[in-house]
Amino acid sequence: MAVFPTGLDENSIFPALPGIAGIALGTACAGIKQTLRDDILLVSMPATASCAAVFTQNAFCAAPVVVAKEHLPHAPRWLLVNSGNANAGTGKQGLTDAQFCCAEVAKLTGSEARQVLPFSTGVIGQALPVAKIAAALPVACANLNEDHWQQAARAIMTTDTFAKGVSKQISIAGHSVTINGIAKGAGMIHPDMATLLAFVATDAVIGQALLQDCLAAAVGQSFNRISVDGDTSTNDACVLMASGCSSAPELMADSEHYRCFAEAVQAVMKQLAELIVRDGEGATKLIRIAVEEALTDDEAARVGKTIAHSPLVKTAFFASDPNWGRILAAVGRAGVADMDLGSVKLYLDDVCIVENGGCAAAYSEAAGQRVMDQAEITITVKLGRGDASQQVLTCDFSYDYVKINAEYRT
């Protein structure tokens, strides 16, 4: 089940995303793993576009990641995404298959194969059914439309229970700039660069190098601050496209206009990242981990991630058990040098559970239980060491998580 804010459900979570001038999206059903919905996405960009991307740090990265990295410096004009098959762990044949798919897009669109970035998500270790994909490409091409954001979000889903999309509009020198984003992900989520698959587009005018800097900074505070199960995928990728079709002036580094744009991109990615955690496989609770008073941002993030990755913490939250010792143990093994245990404070929402090296004097099991019974919970860790702070999002581990992943290939 997905964890939604009050008043929202999977039918209302996807907003109305406006079209981005110059960015068109087309989908088709290739029948890769199922035939009930589209599983191919084709995205086109104009010649004026800039394109930035970040990819998984998993050493066993998938064939499309390898090919996309090779093609990224060559002014990409097309993205090709398939769900249902990861094309990972497929050796040289996987690379050949990814390159073949790029060549098919190039042949169909009159572009160069190296201007196509391929992305795949799904089962690892199975050959990519290239004939099915090639057969579906003309349909996806014919369906290209600037308004097909929801169709695109659905086409890239695997175990997701709902399509994920976010949009934000800002004003740059009196001109409107739009930022749209879609993402997929519910399991194998412990990003180490980006996560899942995420595609964000804007009509802003911005150079490729600055766009890459913008993406890296936004990913660091969004997709790299979430965890569902501690597994980094072989296929993770995040793309930021700028069509250059807005009438706003070109964004330049160190300008107020760029800062405004970068903040908006980060906001879109943070919302997408939260939607992924809300849709965590089998999740029943959304858990925010706020680490404060750390020496550095890296230290704060490390403590937050250690708590987020703990199966014992996550199962306690599923059981609504205020077993604060598990949280304390996670903080203790996060690798913080010379930690003063007497300065550490832990909170469940507004309830102080640990201070002065042990259970808080005013803490009661009833107060802890009240918080643990909620669907959304904030853990606050105050290290008492400095002024740095970071937030990490995670979810609980339920029986359904085991069931979903035990049956993933059936």
Share of the chain above pLDDT 90, in %: 77
- Between residues 410 and 43, the one the model is more confident about: 43
Same domain, 159 and 190: yes
Residue 55 C-beta-side C-alpha neighbours within 13 Å: 21
| 394 flagged as catalytic | no
Same domain, 237 and 324: no
**What is the domain range of residue 250?**
24-278
Average predicted confidence (pLDDT) for the chain = 91
Q: For the segment 370-390, what is each residue's pLDDT rounded down to a tens digit?
A: 999 999 999 999 999 999 999
The predicted pLDDT at position 159 comes to 80
Mean pLDDT for the stretch of residues 147-151: 97
Q: Could you give the CA distance from residue 401 to residue 398 in angstroms, rounded to a whole number?
A: 5
Q: Could you give the CA distance from residue 100 to residue 130 in angstroms, rounded to a whole number?
A: 8
Please, is 393 exposed, middle or buried when counting C-beta atoms within 10 Å of its C-beta (0-12, 13-18, 19+)? Answer: buried
User: Helix, strand or coil for residue 389?
Assistant: strand
Q: Is the Cα torsion angle 57, 192, 117, 209 positive or negative in sign?
A: negative
Q: Which residue in 131, 143, 30, 25 sits closest to 83, CA to CA? A: 30
| Residue 17 identity (one-letter amino acid) | L
The predicted pLDDT at position 14 comes to 87
Same domain, 115 and 162: yes
The predicted pLDDT at position 194 comes to 45
Same domain, 309 and 256: no
Contact between residue 285 and residue 317 where contact means Cβ atoms under 8 Å apart:
yes
The domain that holds 374 is classified in CATH as 3.10.20.340
Q: Could you give the CA distance from residue 72 to residue 173 in angstroms, rounded to a whole number?
A: 30
Band the pLDDT of 195: cuts 50, 70, 90: very low
pLDDT of 393 over the 70 cut: yes
Q: Could you give the CA distance from residue 395 to residue 272 in angstroms, rounded to a whole number?
A: 15
pLDDT of 4 over the 90 cut: no
Same domain, 243 and 318: no
Q: Which residue in 187, 177, 93, 98 sits closest to 134, CA to CA? A: 98
Q: For the segment 314-324, what is each residue's pLDDT rounded down to a tens digit?
A: 999 999 999 99
Residue 384 in domain: yes
pTM (whole model) above 0.85: yes
The predicted pLDDT at position 243 comes to 98
Annotated catalytic residue within 195, 202, 232, 394: 195
pLDDT of 249 over the 80 cut: yes
DSSP for 276-309, please give it. Answer: HHHT-TT---EEEEEEEEESSHHHHHHHHHHHHH
pLDDT of 79 over the 50 cut: yes
Q: Where are the beta strands (DSSP E) in 77-163?
A: 78-85, 116-123
Q: Which domain-ending residue is among 258, 278, 298?
A: 278
Query: Poorest-confidence range of 26-30, 277-281, 303-307, 368-372?
Result: 277-281
Residue 10 in domain: no
Residue 212 in domain: yes
